[in-house]
Amino acid sequence: MGIISRGFSGRRSAADAKLPPGQYLTTDFPVLSAGPTPHIPLDQWEFVIDDGTNVLRRWNWKSFRDLPTETFTVDLHCVTRWSKLGTSWEGVSVDTMLADVKTDASHAMARAYGDYTTNLPLNDLRNKQAWIAFRFDNKDLAPEHGGPARLLVPHLYLWKSAKWVKGLTLMSHDKPGFWESLGYHIYGDPWREQRYSGDE
Amino acid sequence: MSSHTYDYLDGNAAAGELSAIFGMDVTIAESQCAHCGAIKRFAEAHVYMQAPGVVARCAVCQHVLLRLVKARQRAFLDLRGMTCLILDTSRFLESGR
Amino acid sequence: MMWRVGTVVALQDETATARTITLKVPDWPGHIAGQHVDVRLTASDGYSAVRSYSIASAPNAEKRVELTVERLPNGEVSPYLTQELAVGDRLELRGPIGGWFVWRTQQTEPIQLIAGGSGIVPLMAMIRSRASTGSTAPFRLLYSVREPGAVFYRDDLLALSDCYNKVSLTYAYTRIPPKDWPRPPGRIDAALIADATWPSNLAPTCFVCGPTSFVEGATDLLIASGHGRDKIRTERFGPTGDRK
């Protein structure tokens, strides 16, 4: 540990019972990125569910926007320690996207424009826990926050909510994605503070 | 893929973290991109520091050169995006402070 | 590379939002103009934050390191360094870091410096390094700022640009120029490069520093006016000038 810097406390505010352990509240919306922001023209946008070999379902922007949508308000928890509460979104439930998909898969890899990937158990993408979101705060989702559409899985750390999502690859076993392969926790439950691999 | 949003820094920004790991100054090294083959000074790599980890990308093709995560007492370093690092060993004494 | 401890011996406001911190670092190994340090702050519960700052001072024999820090509105570290830190406090730093974006006193070729906002800091170390060793390497500085109140080191720059063996200095104002300024406010452009910088046929080494968008724009202008990419060295700060 370094020498203590007199009078320094960082951004943290008084503990809030609503925050997962180790988080602090933010009112802005930090933009964290592992690469350049993709700019995907809507007439080229696609969302594909595949099993690694075969395409199971495919939507373009028009057919995607024809799906029933929901508005919802959720809290976001980023592994870099900021939390943003009460964020409002509009999106298509992943339950809707998976509705006609017959599969024995236990997990999925969310794929994004650019090279980002993140893995999740299929059960965490189902049962009203996940959306493909395209509007934030009553406006079209900005590219810097993942627009035109991002995955949103608020019960896990925000790195699981892949920005610029372009599909799901269904998998019969779990495989680590971009950050999970480099020390981050394979599951990422903020309430159990599962930040890094090896955290219980 | 465009870089219209100037949300990256460069190899200088990651130099402290990487120099602590490598024991030498990486900004003066050249790196060869495993994807496009471009050989560029690491100081000129596009580095994203805001993410849950450090990601250095080839300035030419944007593919990942290097990734670093500091997870409490461990550091995870992925160098697969580089075919190699090219070092000037005559500079070792000067840079290894 | 180890963490060293420096003691704050002086604080000097450069602008309404920026301050120069002078540290005495007993085991400082020396540095080259252009290098930076990582500064680490640690709270009493062990939480720590690290930020990079360019060294503003020339290499010197007194183990003295000067950092100029700009306060960012939503910053976590810069408000502490510019408002809370006091003379006598200790600061942890790691460095000096970086061997590419440096100017060595043995260099004799013409040098073109281009600074955007707080990007002036490492370039000032180069200017000061040149002055302290009596180097006659030809230096030109093009310094782009929003308005006159944002200029760092104004007095020093005035002295160093108005003497024998001077640095040739041109200001460019992007938002609010001084009264009667001949050039309307705006970003640097090809015309200003042509007027105020070394022509490419002199083969200067160019150092460009500032926010990423500034660096990319200035670099493109230099290349368009004939400078080789290999003659241009760059250091990018965050969009608001912070190095992280």
B3 within a domain of the structure (yes/no)? no
CA distance C225 to C228: 9
Assembly ipTM: 0.89
Give C181-211 pLDDT, tens digit per residue: 999 999 999 999 999 999 999 999 999 999 9
| Out of B3, B52, B78, closest to residue A36 by CB | B3
Q: What is the pLDDT of residue B3?
A: 45
Average pLDDT over every residue of C105-117:
98
CA distance A15 to C138: 57
Cβ–Cβ gap C98/B20 under 8 Å: no
Does any CB of chain B come closer than 8 Å to the CB of residue A22? no
Q: Which of A19-23, B54-58, C72-76 has the highest mean pLDDT?
A: B54-58
Q: What is the pLDDT of residue A181?
A: 97
Q: What is the pLDDT of residue A9?
A: 87
Domain ranges in chain C? 3-97, 111-237
Matching residue, tokens 């999106």 = A91
Q: Rounded to a whole number, what is the largest CA-CA distance in chain C?
A: 57
**Number of domains, chain B:** 1
Chain C residues in contact with A6 by the CB 8 A cut-off are: 86, 89
Q: What is the pLDDT of residue B92?
A: 61
Q: Which amino acid is at A186?
A: I
Tokens of C32: 């080259």
CATH 3.40.50.150, applies to A43-192: no
Does any CB of chain A come closer than 8 Å to the CB of residue C84? yes
Residue A143: C-alpha distances to residues A67, A99, A147, B3, B4 (Å): 22, 28, 4, 12, 11
B97 within a domain of the structure (yes/no)? no
- Distance in angstroms between the alpha carbons of the first and the last residue of chain B: 38
| Out of C41, C74, C76, closest to residue A5 by CB | C41
- Give the percent of chain C with pLDDT over 70: 98
Does any CB of chain A come closer than 8 Å to the CB of residue B22? no
Strands (DSSP E) contained in A67-158 are 70-77, 82-93, 107-112, 117-121, 131-136, 139-140, 150-152
B53 within a domain of the structure (yes/no)? yes
CB atoms within 10 A of CB C31: 23
Structurally, at CATH architecture level, domain C3-97 sits in: Beta Barrel (2.40)
Classify domain C111-237 at the CATH topology level. Rossmann fold (3.40.50)
Q: Is the peptide bond before A148 cis (omega within 30 degrees of 0)?
A: yes
Confidence (pTM): 0.92
Chain B residues in contact with C211 by the CB 8 A cut-off are: 6
Q: What is the pLDDT of residue C243?
A: 45
* Structural domain span for residue B16: 9-87
Q: What is the pLDDT of residue C16?
A: 96
Number of residue pairs across B and C with CB atoms under 8 Å?
Answer: 76
Chain A residues in contact with C46 by the CB 8 A cut-off are: 1
- Give the percent of chain A with pLDDT over 90: 89
Long-range contacts of C76-82 (CB under 8 A, 24+ apart): C76/A10, C76/A11, C76/C49, C77/C39, C77/C41, C77/C49, C77/C51, C78/C51, C78/C242, C80/A5, C80/A7, C80/A8, C80/C41, C81/C19, C81/C21, C81/C39, C82/C17, C82/C18, C82/C19
Which has the minimum average pLDDT: A104-118, B69-83, C7-21, C229-243?
C229-243
Within the 3-32 window of chain A, which residues sit less than 8 Å (CB to CB) from chain C?
A: 3-12, 28
Residue of C nearest to A26 (CA): C74
Residue of C nearest to B8 (CA): C212
DSSP SS3 for B89: helix
